[in-house]
Structure 1
Amino acid sequence: MADYQVVNETDAENTIFENEWDKLWTNHFRAREVIDIYQDHKDAIKECLRVAKYQLESTFGGANAQTNEIGWMPILPNFLLALPAAATATYATATWNRYITTANVTTRWNDWIIGADAGSSLKMTKYGTMIIIGFADPVEEPKIDGILAKIKGKEYPIWAFGDQMSETDWHVYELPAPIIIEKEQEIYLQALAGRAGLDKLRPLGVFFAKGDYMRNKTAYAQV
């Protein structure tokens, strides 16, 4: 990973991190393949906590963080699926589920995680810092064959899912290297549609955020 400005965790914060580590992921995910990816990147996730401490100028309070403490959770759709201007939250912004149409397959590359307007980047909230370590697609047949990402102004090579998605019991893809997205940085992801039908692709990683933001029911990709 790139070099970041960090604030190291205290002994008390490290105890919270270690005590919550296993239970946080086993409470959210059933697939061993997904949990293994989190275990592979434990050190990187702890480094992201240090970045969050510097960025958010707060202490780490764990899963039940108080208002001005930093908490953590898996990446949820409401923090990355932006609402169009003047819109309200809908089913489509509260779940990763979506339907890939034949038109999407014809288009091939389709916007996925974007800003409020087509082709625009999503700006991360000033209350959070995120690390992405991979992707999972818990459907019988994955519909997406790859991701094209532009994060913090850097364009990445295509992440082609290949056999990792199409020929495994549980469809997961581990990034070659984890990516940290700091507060108020921009992210833009396009998905390569290979087949029509129900898709449940979601990023794997951790969202570190202020406790009050974690409790905000209307915090749909808010800055």
Structure 2
Amino acid sequence: MTDISRIDTPETVTKEDVIRYLEDNPEFFRRFPELLLQLKVNHEERGAVSLVEAQMSRLRSRVNDLEEEITQLMGIAAGNEQLFRAFSLAHQRLFAVESSSEIRHALDELAESLKLTVSLRLYSDSDAADLDKSRVDTIRAARFSGQRHYLGRLRRSEGDVFVKDAPELGSYAIVPVSQAKDFGFLTFASHDGGHFQPSMDTLFVEQLAEHLAVILSRWQGEA
């Protein structure tokens, strides 16, 4: 503990001494409460203010920061709930589908609710726009970085491989639809180039792609 009585003259007192003394004697201002109002500190907007006023200002600033954080978290939670409901409804629709047109209708409903473009393109399906495997392989080699899925921007010439009327420099979430074999890709596209980013979670999209793969596998087995 700092012994203030051993400091001989004011010239020997350093700011570190003062800091240590106040840290070691937290009751100091309780014993001398008048100092809280007498001592002044510089304030960027209000000039010199008392320690109490400075502390209150910091607390108000911290409260404002916390309120902003809470608002952001509530917004994220609301967004996650919207995504959950939209994808849950899509899964419900898919449980009852009996044709590729019904799959497209379920995906169109999902696209409308999310305000995104949603596309399912397969390697071989007379009812859907076929994928060009050579072009897909070229894009995977250039963009996927060894990952199964891709999130990020694409040029329109690349996006056209996966969606109709692909946005120029839009962002994409591209997930393979596969089960024992590769059927194709489920793609979500946005005109906002920053909408899909590599750090985003792909759970909902991958679950939907897996559900589609189960349906296509079942149909293939029944053919």
State if a TM-score over 0.5 links the two structures.
no
> Greater RCO between the two (CA within 8 Å, min separation 6)?
1
For the superposition of Structure 1 and Structure 2, which TM-score range results when normalised by the shorter chain? under 0.3
Tell me the TM-score normalized by structure 2. Answer: 0.23
Q: Which has the higher helix share?
A: 2
Q: Which has the larger radius of gyration?
A: 2
Q: Which has the higher strand share?
A: 1
